[in-house]
Amino acid sequence: MPDDAGFVRPVRGSRWSDSQSKDALQAIAEGVAAIVGFDLVGISAARDDGYLHTLVVVGPEDARRALLDSLAPTQPLLDQLKTAEDWGALKFVPHDRLVLDIGTWGWFSDAPRDNLPPGAWHPEDMLVAPVEDDDGRFLGFLGMELPRDGMVPSAEKRELVDAYVRQATRAIRTALERERLAEQVRLANAAADIVRMAAGTESADEILAVCGREITKGFRAESLWLQRIGPDRRCQGPLYVDGGPTVRLPAGVRALVTAHAQRAWERQCVAVIAPERPTPRGLAADQAAMVLEFLAGVGVESLLFVPLGAGPDCFGVIGLTRGRRGAEWSETEAATVLDIARDVGRSIREHELVTELRQIADYRGRMVATVAHELKNPVSAVLGYAEILESDPDLGESSRTAVAAIRRGGERLARVVDELLALHGTTESEPAVGSRVDVAALVREVVELNAALAASLGIQVRTVVPEGPVVACCDDGELDQVVTNLVSNALKYTPRGGTVTVTVAAVGDEAELTVADDGIGMSPEDQVRAFEEFYRSADPAATAKPGTGLGLAIVRRVLERYHGRIEVESELGAGSTFRVGLPRG
């Protein structure tokens, strides 16, 4: 805080959020002036930046012009009040104890100063009533000047003045606290709106565009500037401007922006760049002068500079601007916009990561499809030649064993290729609206096709299927994949003598398919990862069975496309139950 001698009055006042509170203060000042017998009454509020802001003034017009919306440092006044006479709610500083430069602080009357009679009011006498909250924190003060009778209040008059001033200061405290609360609510609502909008966007650029508009409005700025910064610490793309004319940053200013942004993000601080404000930390005086010259050229009086990033990385800056006679930026505004910059930065980083993951997934899908297609013809050729060789009557026993091994390997590779193509097919499309498929009829067909396999394995397959249709919205081919994979899995992991039960039912607005077995079951860890692509359990009993780890992944993808669901309940050694739900047709 500068001392009184070095104080230069700033030109930017405070922006009053709650007009009702300011109207209440005006009424209080008018009431004090009318009742206690002073022609000049003012009410000032303490700001976050250490200045007093004169909010209302009742009195002569020249005094109102000089004092209204003026700023003065708080601490010198508080130091001066330590020398004051204690009049209860009022504090009186005689002119001979006054060390403040009244000329610097504002207005004083031109009434006579010399040869005053005893008890007369001196133009440099000070009479104020400090206003504090319940915790003793200084909120502002009520000041009085120009007593109508020209005299310092007598002891009897002080009692009257003290009683009324106590009531007035309570009302002033309520109004000031209401204003502070109004600002906090306004900024909290703005922050909530901004975060909510960021969460509902689909790209980093959309986040910046939507949030830029809301930040400008929520912080009552004239415009918002947003500059992206690349990994090479250089400005990336054009400057985004919302709420004001398009501007172009000079090369020198662009370099300062990028240099200062990373340091500000590391310190988690904002900076105000404006005339009569201290040079922000990290900027040299000539650098600050260059920025101020640029701001003046585009009609900006005050700039709130906010770094934008996530984790250790700064990837942009936000600049909020206000023009001439615009308000100073409060500490509450600065802290809130930094919080918003963190939230917006996290949202941008999350969107960028999601985009990268989608690109990786798309690339992997294309690669899988390409490899599968390229393998399909050679595998078919291997199986074809193996079949021809097996049919040769002159083939020796050892050769026949080798050919059978080739055929089994080829068939296994063919199944992998088919499942890869099926998996790719379920990831290519957006969520789909299927046709009407009778789940009951399809289940009967799949169970019938697997009857011979079940019999050879010594497994009983039971079906609980209604006689009438149970219709679901799905593609019949893809639903066949779902049922076949679940039934095949149940048969694969159920030991000889076990039972597999397939149930179809209409449950609410869903067609529900349940495939239950009393096989080897799954651990809780396996249940969590069962639907991941290529996942195979570490359980030796499961790894002994051949498989690609794609079957359940295909099931999940198909159900996601048709707005369905799948759940699994399982216990090691006690079997598994897979429950599928699809919208009814």
Q: Which domains does the chain have, with CATH numbers?
A: 4-183 (3.30.450.40), 200-428 (3.30.450.40), 435-583 (3.30.565.10)
Tell me the three state secondary structure of residue 305: strand
For residue 195, the surrounding DSSP H or E stretch is helix 155-199
Mean pLDDT, to the nearest integer, of 477-505?
Answer: 92
pLDDT at residue 273, rounded to an integer: 86
Question: In this predicted model, what pLDDT tens digit does every residue of 276-333 receive, in sequence order?
Answer: 777 887 788 888 889 889 988 888 888 899 998 888 888 888 888 988 767 777 777 8
Ranges 99-108, 125-134, 391-400: which has the least confidence: 99-108
Mean pLDDT of the chain: 82
DSSP designation for 120: B
Per-residue pLDDT at 476 exceeds 50: yes
Mean pLDDT, to the nearest integer, of 423-436?
Answer: 62
Across 12-16, 33-37, 350-354, 436-440, the highest mean pLDDT is recorded for: 436-440
Mean pLDDT, to the nearest integer, of 93-118?
Answer: 80
Per-residue pLDDT at 188 exceeds 90: no
- Give 521's contacts (C-beta < 8 A, 6+ positions apart): 570, 571, 572, 573, 574, 575, 576
pLDDT at residue 7, rounded to an integer: 40
Instruction: Work out the end-to-end distance of the chain between its first and last CA atoms, rounded to an integer number of angstroms.
Output: 74
Per-residue pLDDT at 111 exceeds 60: yes
Question: In this predicted model, what pLDDT tens digit does every residue of 521-562 receive, in sequence order?
Answer: 999 888 888 888 777 777 777 777 777 677 888 888 888 888
Report whether 504 contacts 443 (CB < 8 A): yes
Mean pLDDT, to the nearest integer, of 409-436?
Answer: 66
C-alpha span between 141 and 92 (Å, rounded): 13
Burial of residue 452, with CB atoms counted within 10 A of its CB: 0-12 exposed, 13-18 middle, 19 or more buried: exposed
Mean pLDDT, to the nearest integer, of 17-35?
Answer: 79
Report whether 569 contacts 457 (CB < 8 A): no
Report whether 347 contacts 199 (CB < 8 A): yes
pLDDT band, very low/low/confident/very high, at 575 (cuts 50, 70, 90)? very high
Task: Please give the sequence-ordered ranges of beta strands (E in DSSP) within 63-174, or none if there are none.
Answer: 71-73, 85-87, 90-93, 126-132, 138-147
Give the residue among 400, 418, 411 at the shortest CA–CA distance from 481: 418
Q: CA 221 → CA 191, 206, 299, 355, 474, distances in Å?
A: 14, 20, 13, 32, 52
Rounded percentage of the chain residues whose pLDDT exceeds 70: 85
pLDDT at residue 1, rounded to an integer: 35
pLDDT at residue 183, rounded to an integer: 67
pLDDT at residue 281, rounded to an integer: 79
C-alpha span between 504 and 488 (Å, rounded): 17
Per-residue pLDDT at 384 exceeds 70: yes
Q: CA 437 → CA 192, 352, 412, 476, 485, distances in Å?
A: 45, 39, 30, 6, 17
Q: CA 2 → CA 6, 13, 281, 302, distances in Å?
A: 6, 18, 17, 20
Ranges 101-105, 251-255, 360-364, 373-377: which has the least confidence: 101-105
The residue type at 163: A
Confidence (pTM): 0.51
DSSP designation for 222: S
pLDDT band, very low/low/confident/very high, at 503 (cuts 50, 70, 90)? very high
Dihedral, CA atoms, 461, 524, 520, 558, nearest 10 degrees?
40
pLDDT at residue 419, rounded to an integer: 65
Tokens of 146: 């120009």
pLDDT band, very low/low/confident/very high, at 156 (cuts 50, 70, 90)? confident
Percentage helix, strand, coil, to 5, in the chain? 50, 20, 30
Tokens of 585: 């047709």
C-alpha span between 163 and 248 (Å, rounded): 60
